[in-house]
Amino acid sequence: MSTLQDCWPEPVVRVQSLSESGLSAIPTRYIKPPSERPSLNSGGDANIPLIDLGSLLNNLDDKTTLKQVSEACREWGFFQIVNHGVSPKLMHRTREVWRQFFHLPLEQKQVYANSPKTYEGYGSRLGVEKGAILDWGDYYFLHYLPLVLKDQNKWPALPDSLREVTQEYGDELVRLCKNLMKILSVNLGLGEENLQNAFGKEGIGACVRVNYYPKCPQPDLTLGLSSHSDPGGLTLLLADDRVPGLQVRRGGNWVTVKPFPNAFIVNIGDQIQVLSNAMYKSVEHRVIANAVQERLSLAFFYNPKSDLLIQPEKELVTSDRPALYPAMTFNEYRLYIRTKGPRGKAQVESLKSPR
Ligand code: OGA
Ligand code: NI
């Protein structure tokens, strides 16, 4: 298996430092080609579906809510959930403790500077291609599961409560993901445990990327995060309820998500697209930059065990609908985004066997 190098191809510049230096024009390496700039195509007033999960979490037979989730998965690949069982107070504490981390002096964050080898730590780019056009954002990436990869020494030691709060948040989100996996599995016509078992009975992965998008003097020329689909299984995003920025592709348009207070934004990743034989699609999304406010989001990625072969579930492969994807491990799969950076849906599309 090929692996990634230890170093970035160019010196790392923190976008936050650029932003705080007060420049009025962004450096050329952040300027996107006109076709990728954000002003084109707006989705108008559309919003992704909002689903109250309360009764379904108590009773997996709640047909009405099952149907809402099923439609959202088929038609949008994205939805927001409320009454998901995670305490709003914990959500708020987690977001604020990470905001405090990004507001620490630069030297204290640099201790955790990441490398392309594992991506763990404080980072400012995705992909290792020299001369690539970069995104207007910094991030912190950490492993939560499997336990062999979880190393709290690689999580920030400051602010004091960060490790404890992040641990508690992770426990709650793993629980919620397990419930969502059952719901999706039943909706696909599979047994309650099938999807989870396909991810691995043990050794499944979970990681967190905290995204920090500083203010940008020229938001029309760049993106906070370029268009991509999430390579993993399922993503739970805690967005900033005050500052919009996430856009979801809907046909030829980009729909701006209006975060609902205390909701999580759920989206299907590439591994569920493969397992469901494209009944569910991982949908492209991106983040626009903002001239007046910073924005912080926490993406929690729930992933298959990394060395397990992922392929369309047998029950979803028929003579009318043959397997659309070959088997591949998540370890192999995620090398693509880690090497090339965010590239829309190019990766999962390239897997499709020509017929
Ligand atoms: C991601 C992502 C969206 C956001 O981290 O994969 O899509 O709003 N984040 O920050
Ligand atoms: Ni994403």
225 lines ligand 1 (CB under 6 A): yes
Query: Exposure string (b/e) for 290-326, b if CB count within 10 Å is 16 or more?
Result: beeebbbbbbbbbbbbbebebbbbeebeeeeeebbbe
273: pLDDT strictly greater than 60 = yes
| Res. 355 pLDDT band, cuts 50 70 90 | very low
Share of the chain above pLDDT 70, in %: 97
Contact 226, 211 (CB under 8 A): no
pTM: 0.96
Element housing 194 (H / E): helix 194-199
- Taking CA atoms, 129 is separated from 9, 141, 330, in Å, by 7, 20, 21
- The minimum-distance atom of ligand 1 relative to the CA of 235 is 6
Q: Whose CA is nearest to atom 6 of ligand 1?
A: 230
57: pLDDT strictly greater than 50 = yes
Domain 15-346: what homologous superfamily? B-lactam Antibiotic, Isopenicillin N Synthase; Chain (2.60.120.330)
327 φ, ψ (degrees, to nearest 5): -75, 140
- The minimum-distance atom of ligand 1 relative to the CA of 246 is 8
Element housing 210 (H / E): strand 205-213
Contact 214, 16 (CB under 8 A): yes
User: What per-residue confidence (pLDDT) applies to 241?
Assistant: 87
User: What per-residue confidence (pLDDT) applies to 15?
Assistant: 98
User: What per-residue confidence (pLDDT) applies to 346?
Assistant: 84
354: pLDDT strictly greater than 90 = no
Q: What is the Å distance from ligand 1's center to 297 Cα? A: 7
Which is higher by pLDDT, 1 or 292? Answer: 292
Q: Which ligand lies nearest the alpha carbon of 345?
A: 2
User: What per-residue confidence (pLDDT) applies to 351?
Assistant: 79
As a whole number, the mean pLDDT across the chain is 95
Q: Which ligand lies nearest the alpha carbon of 241?
A: 1
| Res. 3 pLDDT band, cuts 50 70 90 | confident
Nearest to 28 by CA among 132, 123, 181, 156: 132
Question: Alpha-carbon Rg of the chain, whole angstroms?
Answer: 19
User: What per-residue confidence (pLDDT) applies to 46?
Assistant: 84
313 lines ligand 1 (CB under 6 A): no
Residue 180 has which token pair?
């969502």
334 lines ligand 1 (CB under 6 A): no
Domain layout of the chain by residue ranges: 15-346
Q: Whose CA is nearest to atom 8 of ligand 1?
A: 246
pLDDT tens-digit series, residues 159-200: 999 999 999 999 999 999 999 999 999 999 999 999 999 999
Burial class (CB in 10 A: 0-12, 13-18, 19+), 286: buried
User: What per-residue confidence (pLDDT) applies to 43?
Assistant: 66
| Res. 353 pLDDT band, cuts 50 70 90 | low
Length of the chain: 355
340: pLDDT strictly greater than 90 = no
| Res. 321 pLDDT band, cuts 50 70 90 | very high
User: What per-residue confidence (pLDDT) applies to 106?
Assistant: 98
Contact 139, 211 (CB under 8 A): yes
pLDDT tens-digit series, residues 38-56: 975 566 678 999 999 999 9
Q: Is the peptide bond before 88 cis (omega within 30 degrees of 0)?
A: no
